[in-house]
Amino acid sequence: MRSCHTAVWRQQYVFEGHVPARYIRRFLLDPPPGALGLAVPGMPVGSPGMYDGKTFEPYTIYLLLRDGDYRYYTRVEAPE
């Protein structure tokens, strides 16, 4: 789940990689039980900061769990 950026919110949640802001806001409004944060591994083409206005590839955002596991959170199908 590694990427080039890590954000920590109030020493409670982490956001790893190029997670679009709207998904961070959605997560913070209603964090799932046992959640540690969200991650976008790598640097997907078309993610925030990686979109050139032309090229986009859908990518997955993962939910990081406090027990060290992870699961699917959502799929981004269009540039933000």
Q: What is the pLDDT of residue 43?
A: 86
Q: What percentage of the chain reaches a pLDDT higher than 70? A: 99
Q: What is the pLDDT of residue 79?
A: 87
In this prediction the pTM is 0.90
Q: Of 24 and 53, which is predicted with more confidence?
A: 24
5 pLDDT tier (thresholds 50, 70, 90): confident
Angle, CA of 63, 67 and 69, to the nearest 5°: 45
Query: Are 78 and 56 spatial neighbours (Cβ–Cβ below 8 Å)?
Result: yes
Q: Where are the domains of the chain?
A: 6-76
Tokens 């409004």 — which residue?
29
- Whether the pLDDT of residue 1 is over 80: the answer is no
Q: What is the pLDDT of residue 69?
A: 97
Buried b (16+ CB within 10 A) or exposed e, 46-61: bbbebeeeeebeebeb
